[in-house]
């Protein structure tokens, strides 16, 4: 199964992706996580990406498309994968269709998680992320058992630079301008599966399961 998780920053894509990995046994491909890895490693690509990420803008299409193209060639993607945070522009969506077509493949479902803006801001401003395994937590809605420590791997939790108020507002704007048009893009192609992202994590997961059934 090849899935896309679409939705604004803070909708719960990463949270749901981690649960879907368990359920479906296919890998999560998060371009945000891969870019943050590159930043941490201090690679030239990472250094370039950081300036865009910190200001809430998108990293140039060719950079992200290259990362994804390389990643989906890996053997663990042979039976499928879920893309979390990619595509984010119509140019990326076209590039994805093309790279899959070359291999005779296609996306099965685009799960679009919908959450209103006030809730997105509440979710993003309280988010904490594991430095080690990238698992998302929330100080109020999804706290770890021990403050500041990842339940899954014991890693340190931190607040992403772009989860501060200024950058959050910029990212929501970027989403509206550049990513929201993908909803219509995939609707026209018969792939869009809208999912109500409000309510508890488990409720949202139940709705996604329904859609995939
Ligand atoms: P979110 O929590 O908003 O879903 P991500 O971790 O997916 O955040 O992305 C963080 C940042 O990484 C984005 O604001 C953007 O700068 C960059 N990024 C991630 N994925 C993409 C992409 N597909 N295209 C361009 N930039 C991306
Ligand atoms: P995205 O990957 O779409 O940016 P995340 O999965 O990182 O979103 O979730 C954003 C924040 O909201 C995190 O702090 C996460 O713990 C929290 N969160 C995710 N799903 C829910 C939910 N259903 N209810 C409340 N908080 C949630
Ligand atoms: Zn962890």
Distance CA 162, CA 140 (A): 19
Distance CA 68, CA 86 (A): 8
- Return the residue whose CA atom lies nearest to atom 9 of ligand 2: 12
How many angstroms separate the alpha carbon of residue 189 from the centre of ligand 1? 24
Q: Which atom of ligand 1 is nearest to the CA of 175?
A: 3
- Return the residue whose CA atom lies nearest to atom 9 of ligand 1: 32
Distances (CA, A) of 164 to 51, 56, 122, 200: 15, 10, 11, 23
pLDDT band at residue 179 using 50, 70 and 90 as cut-offs: very high
How many angstroms separate the alpha carbon of residue 191 from the centre of ligand 3? 32
Nearest ligand to the C-alpha atom of residue 205: 2
Q: Tens digit of pLDDT for each residue in 93-124?
A: 999 999 999 999 999 999 999 999 999 999 99
pTM: 0.96
User: What is the CATH superfamily name and number for domain 2-26+79-115+177-212?
Assistant: P-loop containing nucleotide triphosphate hydrolases (3.40.50.300)
Mutate to test the pocket of ligand 1, among 14, 16, 31 (most ligand atoms within 8 A of CB): 31
Ligand 2 site residues (CB inside 6 A) read 7, 9-15, 123, 126-127, 136-138, 141-142, 200-201, 204
Query: For residue 168, what are the contacts with CB-CB under 8 A and spacing of at least 6?
Result: 9, 10, 56, 121, 124, 125, 162
CB half-sphere exposure, 91, CA atoms < 13 A = 10
- Nearest CA-CA partner of 127 in 117, 137, 119: 137
Q: Which atom of ligand 2 is nearest to the CA of 139?
A: 14
Query: For residue 129, what are the contacts with CB-CB under 8 A and spacing of at least 6?
Result: 135, 136, 137, 157, 158, 159, 160, 163
CB half-sphere exposure, 95, CA atoms < 13 A = 18
Q: Tens digit of pLDDT for each residue in 22-78?
A: 999 999 999 999 999 999 999 999 999 999 999 999 999 999 999 999 999 999 999
Let me know if 29 is exposed, middle or buried by CB neighbors in 10 A (0-12, 13-18, 19+): buried
Residues in the chain: 213
Task: Specify the pLDDT at position 37.
Answer: 94
How many angstroms separate the alpha carbon of residue 104 from the centre of ligand 1? 27
Catalytic residue positions?
13, 88, 127, 160, 171
**Mean pLDDT in the chain?**
97
Dihedral sign, CA of 61, 76, 202, 213?
A: positive
Question: Percentage of the chain surpassing pLDDT 70?
Answer: 100
Distances (CA, A) of 179 to 15, 76, 85, 175, 190: 20, 27, 10, 5, 18
Contact call for residues 109 and 3 (beta carbons, < 8 A): yes
Q: Which atom of ligand 2 is nearest to the CA of 9?
A: 4
User: How much is the average pLDDT of 169-194?
Assistant: 98
């Amino acid at each position: 199964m090849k899935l896309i998780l679409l939705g604004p920053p803070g909708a719960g894509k990463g949270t749901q992706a981690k649960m879907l990995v368990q359920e479906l046994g296919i890998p999560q491909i998060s371009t945000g996580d891969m870019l943050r890895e590159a930043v941490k490693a201090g690679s030239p690509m990472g250094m370039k990406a950081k300036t865009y990420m910190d200001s809430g803008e998108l990293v140039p299409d060719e950079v992200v498309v290259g990362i994804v193209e390389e990643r989906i060639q890996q053997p663990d993607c042979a039976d499928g994968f879920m893309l979390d945070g990619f595509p984010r522009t119509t140019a990326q969506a076209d590039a994805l269709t093309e790279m899959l077509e070359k291999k005779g493949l296609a996306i099965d479902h685009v799960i679009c998680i919908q959450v209103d803006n006030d809730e997105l801001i509440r979710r993003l401003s309280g988010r904490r992320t594991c430095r080690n395994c990238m698992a998302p937590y929330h100080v109020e809605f999804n706290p770890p058992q021990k403050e500041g420590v990842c339940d899954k791997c014991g890693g340190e939790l931190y607040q992403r630079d772009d989860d501060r108020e200024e950058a959050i507002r910029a990212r929501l704007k970027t989403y509206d301008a550049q990513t929201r048009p993908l909803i219509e893009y995939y609707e026209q192609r018969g792939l869009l599966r809208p999912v109500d992202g409000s309510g508890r994590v488990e409720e949202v997961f139940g709705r996604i399961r329904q859609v995939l059934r």
